[in-house]
Amino acid sequence: MRRFVFALVVGLGSLTLSAQDIHFSQFNETPMHLNPAYTGVFDGLFRISGHYRSQWASLGNPYKTMATAFDMPLNYKKNGAYMGIGIFAYSDKAGDSNFGTKQGSVSVSGIVPITSTTKFSAGIQAGFGQRSATTSSLQWENQYINGSYDPSAPSNESNILTSFLYADLSGGIAAQFRNAASTFSGKNVRELNIGLSAFHFNKPQQRFHGGGGERLYMRIVAHANYRFDVPDSKWSIRPGGYFMNQGPTNEILIGSMFRYRMQNGTKITNFYTETGVAFGASYRYKDAIIPQVYFDLGDIFIGLSYDLNVSTYKVASKSQGGMEITLRYANLNGALYKNKK
């Protein structure tokens, strides 16, 4: 079985190379992976986050994805144009061969308020990636002697995989429509975010062995999310989703979070920021149902989710998909912004 899985991975890389990018179920919490135009688009000084995803543990060696991000606005102006800058990096490893990808990118964005309720942003992202795999931990047919596995037996297999670097270029655009009114129970917000992004503009060459290679497909993402604060209550409804295309593969995810505001932010000094807890679920079309819970503790955010596999693959996965954790610290908007023009 391990040889078959290895051969399948190598075959995909060598013949069609329909390799797909990593994805996160908590997609709104990885903004620079969703759209470079979101770099620095938040009310605060800076934010830093870490993300961990473990998938298909029932198959033995799970697929593991770890990512970290940092971004901040530059020369912030409440009613004028400003810039955002950020860094996003991740490591993804799959299976017994540690077939993996490492990538680091720098993002730069421009944010322009069009009106008091409308904001437009555009961003670019550039960086380098590395793909690699090893065969030392794999078991081969020739190492089974009289039905028993002998790790000292020669495999008679050469390592046909190579590690290689590639440059990568991406970009996107986004728009935000936000209307907020102060009420006795706190702010009453209506907010719509929409965007379109494209990754791998340059279709980087992927060469998994000494022979020929293929180009990595572009990843196109159309996404949206909406916030609706229920009037005269502490509840808000936050639906969202995306459509993603990469070569022959499409991915659709839709869902909604229901958030309860535990503490209002202070209106004059901004000494305290708003806190809340949210719960909900998303559905990745023909793949998984994803229950989620978020703890928004002001500057600190914790997100937990779990993919419940519902595709035909559930026979092998036993309906187990992926656990995902997000931790974020953001130095949110404080009194120093009150006098910004």
pLDDT number for residue 143? 75
Q: Which of 184, 158, 216 is nearest to 22 (CA)?
A: 216
Q: How many CA atoms lie within 13 A of 18 on its CB side?
A: 10
Instruction: Work out how many domains the chain is built from and give that number.
Output: 1
The pair of structure tokens assigned to 295 is: 């703890």
Look up residue 336 and give its DSSP letter: G
Nearest to 131 by CA among 7, 20, 246: 20
CB atoms within 10 A of CB 23: 20
pLDDT tens-place values along the chain, 341 residues long: 344 343 334 333 333 334 578 989 999 999 999 999 999 999 889 999 999 999 866 666 778 999 999 999 998 877 899 999 999 999 998 766 677 889 999 999 999 999 989 999 999 999 999 987 776 667 777 778 777 877 777 776 665 566 788 999 999 999 999 998 766 556 789 999 999 999 999 999 887 665 567 889 999 999 999 999 999 899 999 999 999 999 999 999 999 999 999 987 655 445 557 899 999 999 999 999 999 999 999 899 999 999 998 887 666 666 667 899 999 999 986 544 443 44
Q: What pTM was estimated for this model as a whole?
A: 0.84
Q: How many CB atoms lie within 10 A of CB 289?
A: 16
What DSSP designation does 166 have?
E
Report the CATH number at residue 202: 2.40.160.40
Contact 87, 105 (CB under 8 A): yes
- Specify the length of the chain in residues: 341
- Residue numbers of the domain that contains 303: 2-337
- Torsion region of 226: left, alpha or beta (phi above 0 gives left; psi -120 to 50 gives alpha): beta
